[in-house]
Amino acid sequence: MANIAPGLAVVIVGNDPASHAYVSSKSKMAKECGFTSVQHTLPEETTQEELAALVQTLNVDETLHGILVQLPLPKHLNSEPIIQSILPGKDVDGLHVVNAGKLATGDLDGGLVSCTPAGAMIFVKRTHGEDLSGLNAVVIGRSNLFGKPMAQLLLNANATVTIAHSRTKNLAEVCRNADILVAAVGRPEMVKADWVKLGATVIDVGINRIAAPERGEGKTRLVGDVAFDEAAKVAGVITPVPGGVGPMTIAMLMANTVIAAYRKANCPPPKF
């Protein structure tokens, strides 16, 4: 790996302020890590063909080991073909069907794992160790971006896993059985204290902006999917929003870029 700087390209289309905040923190962290950091900021009216052409250019760039297209894309663009056109070895977001498939079949060393679940798993393993045998885990949310890969990672570590979602009956009751409760539904403070088993590990992946009139007219604040103050009294470990899973997501993006760079150089990558 002599003198190879890992290279990360981040692509953002349009003017979504939350996306721009994420992207700037990702690019900043990449620079701090000493990576080759490239950011492509495209106008709102970018066409599907223009975006696809840029991804192809990044695919063949030997100095880049990771490519991330910030989601969501503007409404007129179809994100799926764009994501699937990224080379699996450069898909540091872990969303390509090849990487999703490797995770689903238990091949954790051959693919790249989606950053947010990978980051959430570090919290879980710091609390419970590598082997989750005998522990019940409940993941609320079944998205391809988080819910499904999170469930796969927990399953891989020998937890007994339930995936709950908007159609689940008696959701609170299901959650009360969880030693590890992971909330990723996008509904502010939905998970109440009486949903949480005493001493449980609670991982809150939600980021919701709600009105905060106490801060002044028109002011807002960020909250998770868990009612933090009340749940914290019951949980053994709980992640805050903001400041919990978010920074871990960016850290795992850097880790995936390093892994991709090692693989490109035919060197065994480090474990994170």
Question: What is the set of active-site residues?
Answer: 26, 70, 93
Indicate the burial class of 251 (C-beta count within 10 angstroms; 0-12, 13-18, 19 or more). middle
CA 271 centroid distance within chain: 18
| Secondary structure of residue 78 in the 3-state scheme | coil
Structure-block tokens of residue 260 = 């991709």
Dihedral over Cα of 188, 194, 195, 201: its sign: positive
CA 205 centroid distance within chain: 8
CA–CA dist 185, 191 (Å, integer): 10
- Pairing status of strand 66-69 against strand 237-238: unpaired
Structure-block tokens of residue 206 = 């939600």
CA–CA dist 229, 226 (Å, integer): 9
Asked whether the beta carbons of 230 and 9 are under 8 A apart, the reply is no
